[in-house]
């Protein structure tokens, strides 16, 4: 079952879909591209949200609106793209941001030079809440990390999430290919936000990556389902 493991398809949750109509169109495009299951991962920023509970209430409300507008909507799992901030691991109920039905939590590193506290937050979340960290779009940090730090990033005890866009960039493609070649744990995602510059793009993945590699992503997700 081909799965989009990172998307911003819920309407009016973040900088992704800005309407129910757009969300429905994005899901239809994913369906046309062969995607049978989507994980909705709207942004969660600790410093912006009142609480995890308030965020979850809004997420459920927007998901309910989407289902009401399109009863055909199915095979959508709810999650979050959680920004790593100092003190994140101390946030009450942080474990509830894990991808629905799994022990996976999608974490986005800061777009800033690497610092040790970032890894400490990742480790604390993994150990305290018995969750498996997933590092969002692991290939995007090349502008901030040197070669040694990038190598360290790939050695983290975490699943590495690869955006399909990486296969269209010379430098980012190297990271994606290294992850695959070394048989590190990975998940594919579109990170789609809209229907223009950040639209669903699984047709690119199917052109650039062999079917058995895509299947590895799907199998890893299913292995983490509880």
pLDDT at 110: 97
pLDDT at 1: 86
Q: How far is CA 9 from CA 40, 91, 125, in A?
A: 6, 25, 26
* Domains of the chain, CATH where assigned: 3-223 (3.20.20.140)
Torsion angle, alpha carbons of 17, 23, 29, 33, to 10: 80
Q: How far is CA 91 from CA 32, 47, 80, 87, in A?
A: 39, 10, 14, 7
Q: What is the DSSP letter of 225?
A: B
In angstroms, rounded to a whole number, what is the distance separating the alpha carbons of residues 60 and 172?
A: 34
Residues 30-60 pLDDT 10s: 999 999 999 999 999 999 999 999 999 999 9
CB 94 within 8 A of CB 127: no
pTM of the model: 0.97
Residues 65-118 pLDDT 10s: 999 998 777 799 999 999 999 999 999 999 999 999 999 999 999 999 999 999
């Amino acid at each position: 079952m081909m799965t989009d493991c990172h998307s911003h398809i819920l309407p009016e949750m973040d900088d992704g879909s800005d309407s129910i109509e757009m969300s429905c169109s994005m899901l239809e495009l994913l369906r046309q591209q062969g995607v049978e299951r989507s994980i909705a991962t709207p942004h969660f920023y600790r410093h912006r949200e009142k609480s995890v509970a308030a965020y979850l209430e809004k997420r459920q409300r927007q998901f309910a609106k989407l289902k009401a507008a399109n009863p055909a909507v199915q095979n959508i799992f709810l999650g979050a793209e959680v920004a790593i901030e100092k003190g994140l691991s101390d946030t009450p109920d942080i474990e509830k941001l894990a991808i629905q039905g799994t022990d996976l939590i999608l974490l986005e590193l800061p777009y800033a030079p690497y610092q040790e506290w970032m890894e400490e937050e990742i480790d604390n979340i993994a150990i305290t809440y018995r969750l498996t960290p997933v590092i969002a779009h692991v290939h995007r940090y090349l502008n901030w990390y040197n070669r040694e730090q990038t190598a360290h990033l790939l050695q983290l005890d975490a699943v590495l999430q690869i955006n399909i866009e990486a296969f269209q960039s010379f430098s980012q493609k190297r990271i994606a290919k290294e992850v695959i070649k070394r048989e590190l744990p990975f998940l594919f995602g579109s990170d789609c936000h809209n229907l223009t510059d950040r639209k669903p793009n699984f047709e690119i993945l199917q052109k650039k990556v062999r079917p058995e590699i895509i299947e590895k992503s799907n199998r890893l997700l299913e292995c983490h389902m509880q």
